[in-house]
Amino acid sequence: MVELSFGPGVLILDVQGWSKLWSLKSRLEIPFENIRGARADPSVAGGWWKGIRAPGTHIPGVVVAGTFYQDGKRIFWDVRDAERTIVIDLVDDRYDQLIVEVANPAAAIAKIESVVPTGDDARS
């Protein structure tokens, strides 16, 4: 699971507990202008194929954490409970997507959407 917070111009994802070991990351900082949007998507955590691990941990039905390459995308995963999964789409960043578990998906999405650039400021 990750805990979300905000710094000056960045979304901060602090990796919690054993996920730090499994994902080999403890923190990600994403500039607001690189965020295209966020959505709840428990179905994305289903299935056994997450991509090529580089580095990461994948025990089907238990945990997926770390960096994976799938369909030409670099994706950071940290999910144990699929029902609390959100997907954060990025542009011009090290990752193309962040697929993470959060305590409250609806609240996390609302917070992220409040900082996503819109209108003329948004990137396509």
The phi, psi pair for 58, rounded to 5°, reads: -140, 110
Share of the chain above pLDDT 90, in %: 65
Residue 62 tokens read as 């238990």
Cα–Cα distance, 18 to 26 (Å, whole number): 10
Report the percentage of the chain scoring pLDDT > 70.
94
Considering just the CA atoms, what is the radius of gyration of the chain in Å? 14
* Residue 18: pLDDT band with limits 50, 70, 90: confident
d(CA 2, CA 65): 11
Tokens of 94: 């090290």
Question: Where residue 123 falls among pLDDT bands split at 50, 70, 90?
Answer: very low
Omega within 30 of 0 (cis) for the link into 105: no
Could you tell me the pTM of the whole model? 0.89
Handedness of CA 78, 8, 90, 54 (dihedral sign): negative
